[in-house]
């Protein structure tokens, strides 16, 4: 029974609500975990690939950054496509395309006449291009499927997939490199992505079209502010992208503060998914399999922190009614903990480095409420575009961080200044949300 057919007053009152939205967020979580694993493939395979292909630290930095160049640049077009054509078609196609490009990276160095560096850069660039609609798509699904008091937790669940991804896949990818060579990482992850695309098409639908939702759940979501008819509106309205809309977003001090804060948080994210395993191998002397398992510990703590931050934020909102306090308090606490990454400069024991990284990423997880904030503030008619601009700014950190770290390591022979660079951005995140953003509220377009 679809919700369109089943929304009747007597049924809404008497029927027990289904819980389809919980299955939706679980599937989004799994697909986003694969998404992040595909981003991290080269960080796990990078040491072995660099040795075989003769890559320098600077070349490695550029290859690691290639994903983010395209990912950041394609956010606005990706968000506009979601608003115009709806989440399902754009997101499902994106999963299939990025998975094919991921698998193709395993052929680097095997094709005569094509530089391995150029091929890896180009393919990671194309993966970033294809993944651009993923997080704005997640935000649209959360805005459609969840009432306001549940969005913090729902957003934290899909955002925490970035940590769970490495918990689940870093050991697997490390083992694949050890047992079958670095190319196997790309082939296996590409195949998993194609399976994920099929799952998305089969099971992800809008609230108004999902065959399993009943009228009681639909009504509860709609009454709580869920944008339950967003996808139907996308199919009928004219294209929403106009540069004037982008200018309105950029003219808002609140939105600019949110964008800056997301950029700074992602400096830590991109260090972790690009250079961190290489740091463990080159600076701390671990082998690639040990590095894969060591990377899983901070990732697990980040996952727990992400869920705790979302739950705490929604709990504060329910008890105080203050959206500002609910979103900002966990962020400040989390970013203070995240600055502990700088302490790794002065410790020698590998277990202590991993412990400090774990605490830092626990804090980063607590603070990762950016997508919940976007669900709170994005203009209703531009949810995809707003998320795209937000994610574009956030993922500029993926361009800057790998390259800056590569130059720091090449110039100093150490990761010490790189860790200070990352930690300083944690403090800048606090400044952005407390000083620049101001009260958190939904932006109304002129």
What the block records as the tokens of 182 is 């670095």
What the block records as the tokens of 385 is 């575009």
Tell me, what's the pLDDT at 14? 52
**Residue carrying the six token digits 């935000």:** 139
- Which of 373, 398, 143 lies closest to 255, judged by CA? 373
Non-local (6+) Cβ contacts of 394 within 8 A are 259, 262, 263, 265, 266, 370
Residue 1 scores a pLDDT above 50: no
CA distance 422 to 428: 10
Q: Where are the alpha helices (DSSP H) in 206-287?
A: 215-223, 230-236, 243-250, 253-270, 276-282
Instruction: Work out the pLDDT band at 241, boundaries 50, 70, 90.
Output: low
Q: Would you put residue 49 in left (φ > 0), alpha (ψ -120 to 50) or beta?
A: alpha
Non-local (6+) Cβ contacts of 164 within 8 A are 29, 33, 299, 300, 303
Specify the fold of 11-226+248-437. Answer: Growth Hormone; Chain: A; (1.20.1250)
**Residue pLDDT, tens place only, 44-78:** 887 788 888 887 777 877 887 788 788 888 888 88
Instruction: Work out the pLDDT band at 288, boundaries 50, 70, 90.
Output: low
**Residue pLDDT, tens place only, 330-389:** 999 999 999 999 998 898 887 888 889 889 989 998 998 887 888 788 886 676 778 778
- Which of 355, 363, 372 lies closest to 306, judged by CA? 363
Average pLDDT score over residue span 100-108: 90
Tell me, what's the pLDDT at 247? 84
Tell me, what's the pLDDT at 292? 67
- Which of 148, 149, 138 lies closest to 33, judged by CA? 138
Tell me, what's the pLDDT at 2? 46
Domain layout of the chain by residue ranges:
11-226+248-437
Q: Give the chain's radius of gyration (CA, Å).
A: 21
Query: Average per-residue pLDDT in the chain?
Result: 83
Residue 208 scores a pLDDT above 80: yes
CA distance 369 to 367: 6
Tell me, what's the pLDDT at 218? 85
CA distance 145 to 45: 37
**Helix (H) or strand (E) run with residue 11 in it:** helix 9-14
What the block records as the tokens of 129 is 């291009």
Q: Which of 179-188, 245-254, 257-266 has the lowest mean pLDDT?
A: 245-254
Tell me, what's the pLDDT at 9? 41
CA distance 252 to 390: 12
**What whole-number percentage of the chain has pLDDT above 90?**
28
**Residue pLDDT, tens place only, 386-442:** 877 888 888 888 888 888 998 898 899 888 999 999 999 999 999 999 999 988 888
Residue 325 scores a pLDDT above 50: yes
**Residue carrying the six token digits 């997880």:** 365
**Residue pLDDT, tens place only, 155-174:** 888 877 877 887 788 788 88
Residue 5 scores a pLDDT above 50: no
Q: Give residue 117's Cα distance to chain centre.
A: 26
Query: What separation in angstroms does the CA of 69 have from each of 64, 150, 161, 370?
Result: 10, 33, 22, 21
């Amino acid at each position: 029974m679809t919700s369109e057919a089943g929304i009747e007053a007597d049924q809404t009152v008497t029927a027990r609500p289904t819980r389809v939205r919980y299955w939706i967020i679980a599937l989004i979580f799994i697909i986003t975990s694969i998404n992040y694993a595909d981003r991290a493939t080269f960080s796990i395979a990078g040491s072995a690939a660099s040795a075989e292909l003769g890559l320098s630290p600077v070349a490695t930095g550029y290859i690691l950054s290639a994903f983010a160049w395209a990912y950041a640049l394609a956010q606005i077009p990706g968000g506009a496509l979601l608003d115009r054509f709806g989440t399902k078609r754009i997101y499902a196609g994106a999963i299939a395309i990025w998975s094919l490009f991921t698998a193709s990276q395993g052929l680097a160095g095997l094709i005569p006449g094509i530089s391995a560096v150029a091929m890896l850069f180009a393919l990671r660039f194309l993966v970033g291009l294809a993944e651009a609609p993923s997080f704005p798509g997640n935000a649209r699904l959360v805005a459609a499927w969840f009432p306001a008091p549940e969005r913090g937790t729902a957003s934290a669940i899909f955002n925490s997939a970035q940590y769970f991804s490495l918990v689940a896949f870093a050991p697997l990818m490390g083992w694949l490199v050890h047992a079958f060579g670095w190319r196997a990482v790309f082939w296996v992850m590409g195949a998993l992505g194609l399976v994920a695309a099929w799952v998305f098409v089969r099971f992800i639908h809008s609230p108004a079209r999902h065959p399993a939702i009943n009228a009681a759940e639909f009504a509860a979501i709609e009454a709580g502010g869920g944008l339950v008819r967003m996808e139907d509106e996308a199919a009928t309205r004219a294209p929403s992208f106009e540069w004037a809309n982008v200018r309105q977003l950029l003219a808002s001090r609140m939105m600019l503060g949110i964008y800056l804060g997301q950029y700074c948080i992602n400096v830590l994210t991109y260090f972790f998914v690009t250079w961190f395993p290489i740091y463990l191998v080159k600076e701390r002397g671990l082998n690639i399999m040990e590095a894969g398992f060591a990377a899983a510990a901070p990732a697990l703590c980040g996952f727990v922190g992400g869920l705790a931050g979302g739950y705490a934020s929604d709990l504060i909102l329910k008890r105080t009614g203050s959206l500002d306090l609910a979103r900002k308090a966990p962020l400040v606490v989390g970013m203070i903990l995240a600055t502990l990454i700088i302490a790794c400069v002065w410790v020698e024991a590998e277990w202590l480095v991993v412990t400090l990284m774990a605490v830092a990423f626990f804090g980063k997880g607590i603070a990762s409420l950016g997508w919940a904030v976007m669900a709170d503030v994005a203009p209703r008619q531009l949810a995809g575009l707003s998320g795209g601009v937000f994610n574009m700014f956030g993922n500029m950190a993926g361009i800057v961080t790998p390259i800056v770290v590569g130059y720091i390591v090449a110039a100093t022979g150490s990761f010490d200044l790189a860790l200070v660079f990352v930690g300083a951005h944690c403090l800048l995140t606090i400044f952005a949300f407390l000083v620049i953003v101001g009260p958190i509220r939904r932006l109304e377009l002129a």
